[in-house]
Amino acid sequence: QPALNARIIDDGIMAGDTGTIYRVGGYMLIVAVVNLAVSLAATYLSAHIASEMARDLRISVRDRVALLSDAQASRFGVPSLLTRATGDVSNVQVLLFATLAIAITAPFMLVGAAILSLIQGWRLAPVIVVAGIILSVGMGLFVRQLIPAATLMQKRIDTLNRVIREQLSGQRVIRAFSRERTELRRYDDANTDLFTVALWMGRWQTALLPTVTVVAGLASVAVSGFGAVFIDHGWMKIGQLTATSGYLMQILVAVSMLSVVAGVASRASASAARIIEVRDTEASIDGATSRRDDGSLAALGVTDRAPLVELDGVSFRYAGAESPALDSVSLAFRPQSTTGIIGGTASGKSTLLALVPRLIDPTSGAVRWNGADTADFAPAAVRSRISYISAGTSLITGTIATNLRIGKADADDDELWQALDLAAANFVRERDGGLDAEVTQGGRNFSGGQRQRLALARALLRRPDIFVLDEPFSALDTDTEQAVVSAIRAACPTSSIVIGTQRVSSIRRADQIAVIDAGRIVAVGTHQSLLAGSTVYRELADAQAVAGV
Ligand X SMILES: Nc1ncnc2c1ncn2[C@@H]1O[C@H](COP(=O)(O)OP(=O)(O)OP(=O)(O)O)[C@@H](O)[C@H]1O
Provide the binding-site residues for ligand X, judged by CB under 6 A: 70, 318, 321, 325, 343, 345-351, 391, 502
Short-list 359, 389, 407, 368, CA closest to 501: 389
- Least distance in angstroms from the C-beta of 188 to ligand X: 30
DSSP 11: I
The smaller minimum CB distance to ligand X, of residues 186 and 520, is found at: 520
Q: Cβ of residue 513: shortest distance to ligand X, in angstroms?
A: 15
Describe the chain by its helix, strand, coil percentages, rounded to 5.
65, 10, 25
Buried b (16+ CB within 10 A) or exposed e, 389-403: bbeebebeebebbeb
Q: Which is nearer to ligand X, 29 or 346 (CB)?
A: 346
CB of residue 523 to ligand X, shortest distance in Å = 16
| Least Å from the CB of residue 112 to ligand X | 59
* DSSP H helices in 170-291: 171-176, 180-232, 238-279
For residues 201-215, one letter each, b for 16 or more C-beta atoms within 10 angstroms of the residue's C-beta and e for the rest, the string is beebbeebeeebeeb
- Judged by beta carbon, residue 318 or residue 417, the one nearer ligand X is 318
Cβ 340 to ligand X, closest distance in Å?
Answer: 13
List all residues 6 or more positions away from 527 whose beta carbon is below 8 Å from its beta carbon. 504, 507, 508, 509, 510, 513, 548
Least Cβ distance, residue 282 to ligand X (angstroms): 19
Own/partner contacts of 78-82, CB < 8 Å, gap of 24 or more, are 78/162, 78/165, 79/158, 79/159, 79/161, 79/162, 79/165, 80/158, 80/161, 80/162, 80/274, 81/278, 82/161
Given a contact cutoff of 8 angstroms between Cβ atoms, the answer to whether 57 and 275 are in contact is yes
- H or E segment and range at residue 63: helix 18-67
Contact 524, 513 (CB under 8 A): yes
Instruction: Provide, rounded to whole angstroms, the least separation between the CB of residue 324 and ligand X.
Output: 9
Cβ–Cβ < 8 Å for 339, 510: yes
Closer by beta carbon to ligand X, 136 or else 544: 544
**Cβ nearer to ligand X, comparing 113 with 325:** 325
> Which CB atom, from 161 or from 351, has the smaller least distance to ligand X?
351
Count other C-beta atoms under 10 Å from residue 547's C-beta. 7
Smallest distance, Å, CB 507 to ligand X? 13
Residue 178 or residue 345: which is nearer to ligand X going by CB? 345
Amino acid, res. 442: G
Nearer to ligand X, 265 or 468 (CB): 468
